[in-house]
Amino acid sequence: MRREPSKQEAIEARQRAMALLARTCAGELDEPVARRWAEHGARDLKPAETGLVMLRGRAGGDGAPFNLGEATVTRAIVELPSGERGYIVAAAARGAGLRPDAAKARAGSLLHRLNLPERLWPLPPATFSGGEQQRVNIARGFAGEHGLLILDEPTASLDAANREAVVELIAERRASGAGFLAIFHDDDVRLRLADRVIDVSAFSTREAA
C-alpha cells in the first residue's frame, strides 16, 4: 500500500525539485520538457515570457500597502487536449465534476455575465486591471458547486453595471440554497442580500481616534 506524502514532505520535495531546476542549464531541459510536452498533448498558444513584477505587502495584514521588491515570473498560455485554455475559471468548474464542454460553457456564461470580453479569456489574469481580476476571481468562485461561499467585499471598486451583475449572481446562488459569509461596505447591497448583519467594528482592537 502506497503512503501519501505529508504536507511537509510534499513541500520539501518541491523545494528539492525547484533547487535542481535552478542549477540546470536551459539546454539540459529541452529534451525532457519536449518529451513530456508530447506525452500530454498540450498546444502552445503563446510562448513563455519572462519579466519582473513588483511584490506588494501590507503592514500587519491590513495596513498601508508598500513595495516588498521585484520578483521574476514566467508565464505562458497553453491549450489542453480537452480544449481548455488558461487555468482558472473552467478548472474550477471541472473541480465540481463537470465534463470539459460543460465546464467551458459554465465558465463562458459567468465571464459573459461579468462583462469580460472573449478576447481576454485566453490571457493570464495577471495582465488584467484590478477590476477585471476581481471579476475573474468571482467567476472562479461561482463556477464550482460550493454550499458555502466566503466573500470579502466582492462589489468593491466595481462600476454600477458590474456591481449589479455580481449582486445578481449572489442572489441567484443564495436562492438555490447556497450559504454566504460576506463583508459588504455598501448598505444597499447588505439590505438586498443579508439575512443577518454583524457590525464587525465592535470587534476592532484599535482605539477610536
CA 164-167-172 angle, 5° bins: 125
Q: Does residue 52 lie in a domain region?
A: no
Record the pTM. Answer: 0.58
User: How many domains, the chain?
Assistant: 2
Q: Does residue 192 lie in a domain region?
A: yes
Q: Does residue 153 lie in a domain region?
A: yes
Q: Does residue 32 lie in a domain region?
A: yes
Count CB-CB contacts under 10 A for residue 107.
26
pLDDT (tens, 9 = 90+) of the chain, 209 residues, equals: 667 778 888 888 888 888 888 888 878 888 887 887 777 777 777 777 788 878 777 776 566 778 888 877 776 777 777 666 655 677 777 777 778 778 888 888 999 999 998 888 877 777 788 888 889 889 988 988 888 999 988 988 888 999 999 999 999 999 999 999 998 888 889 889 999 988 877 776 655 54
Q: Rounded distance, CA 70 to CA 68, Å?
A: 7
Q: Rounded distance, CA 23 to CA 8, Å?
A: 23
Residue 96: the pLDDT is 73
Here the CATH number for the domain that contains residue 150 is 3.40.50.300
Count CB-CB contacts under 10 A for residue 24.
11
Q: Does residue 4 lie in a domain region?
A: yes
Q: Does residue 150 lie in a domain region?
A: yes
Residue 62: the pLDDT is 64
Domain boundaries, position 21? 1-40
Q: Enumerate residues 6+ apart whose C-beta is below 8 A from 13.
A: 5
Residue 206: the pLDDT is 59
Q: Does residue 114 lie in a domain region?
A: no
Residue 171: the pLDDT is 93
